[in-house]
A and B are shown apart, each in its own frame.
Chain A
Amino acid sequence: QKEVEQNSGPLSVPEGAIASLNCTYSDRGSQSFFWYRQYSGKSPELIMSIYSNGDKEDGRFTAQLNKASQYVSLLIRDSQPSDSATYLCAVNGGERAGKSTFGDGTTLTVKP
């Protein structure tokens, strides 16, 4: 079992729709959770961080964390073509505080 697993994708949604990205992790001691966006040929950039159970909203983005289910998700509302990218889930701070584990990524395409 991979330490961090994301829905495999690719995911395609029409412009204006909600895109839902999911991630599960295996280390129950994990403390911090991140979603990074990576455009083709570019470096990852942070979209959302979440540290406690529940929802966290920032503009069109909502991150959801459920530590009991070891599950974190990212919802993108009113998806735009500019949201087309690969989204990486990252989990930190488990058994080894400095270890940072990424999922394989989900590629999202938003069609105009």
Chain B
Amino acid sequence: EAQVTQNPRYLITVTGKKLTVTCSQNMNHEYMSWYRQDPGLGLRQIYYSMNVEVTDKGDVPEGYKVSRKEKRNFPLILESPSPNQTSLYFCASSLRAAVKQFFGPGTRLTVL
């Protein structure tokens, strides 16, 4: 089944404890992206990747890192999480940039 998977789905952590949210797609998509969604707001793009080893900042990259070493994986790294990073995170992928995106199920992160 074609899909985007994210892990973990739920995470409660404490300020400053490094964490990684994994994202994987099995559709051989070139483009992958991370978003965060906060109440009353749409999706805000954190980082995106046009292809392996090609990443760029979105609108809200501060406090996040990404890497794209393999086509199928695009992990999101929070090296020192803070409470303002409490949010719902979505990973998405698409065949290439600027076409329809397929979204993962979301990761709900709480930073205490």
A98-B103 CB under 8 A given contacts A88-B42, A92-B98, A93-B97: no
Query: Counting CB contacts under 8 A, is A60 at the interface?
Result: no
Is the beta-carbon distance between A97 and B50 smaller than 8 angstroms?
yes
Query: In the complex, what distance in Å separates the CA atom of A43 from the CA atom of B43?
Result: 11
Residues from chain B with Cβ under 8 Å of A6 in the complex: 42
Residues from chain A with Cβ under 8 Å of B42 in the complex: 4, 6, 88, 102-105
Query: In the complex, what distance in Å separates the CA atom of A101 from the CA atom of B101?
Result: 12
Question: Which A residue sits closest to B56, measured CB to CB?
Answer: A98
Question: Which A residue sits closest to B105, measured CB to CB?
Answer: A43
Give the A interface residue count (CB, 8 A). Answer: 25
Query: In the complex, what distance in Å separates the CA atom of A7 from the CA atom of B42?
Result: 13
A99-B45 CB under 8 A given contacts A44-B103, A49-B99: yes
Query: Counting CB contacts under 8 A, is B70 at the interface?
Result: no
Question: Which A residue sits closest to B6, measured CB to CB?
Answer: A43
Residues 68-79 of chain A, each 1 if its beta carbon lies under 8 Å from chain B, else 0: 000000000000
Is the beta-carbon distance between A32 and B31 smaller than 8 angstroms?
no
Residues from chain B with Cβ under 8 Å of A32 in the complex: 98-99
Is the beta-carbon distance between B31 and A98 smaller than 8 angstroms?
yes
Q: Which of B40, B98, B99, B104 has the most CB of A within 10 A?
A: B98
Is the beta-carbon distance between B103 and A31 smaller than 8 angstroms?
no
Q: How far does the Cβ of A100 sit from chain B's closest Cβ, in whole Å?
A: 6
Query: Counting CB contacts under 8 A, is A17 at the interface?
Result: no
Query: In the complex, what distance in Å separates the CA atom of A100 from the CA atom of B101?
Result: 10
Question: Which B residue sits closest to A94, measured CB to CB?
Answer: B98
Chain B residues with a Cβ under 8 A of chain A: 31, 33, 35, 40-45, 48-50, 56, 58-59, 90, 97-101, 103-106
Chain A residues with a Cβ under 8 A of chain B: 4, 6, 31-32, 34, 42-46, 49, 88, 90, 92-93, 96-105
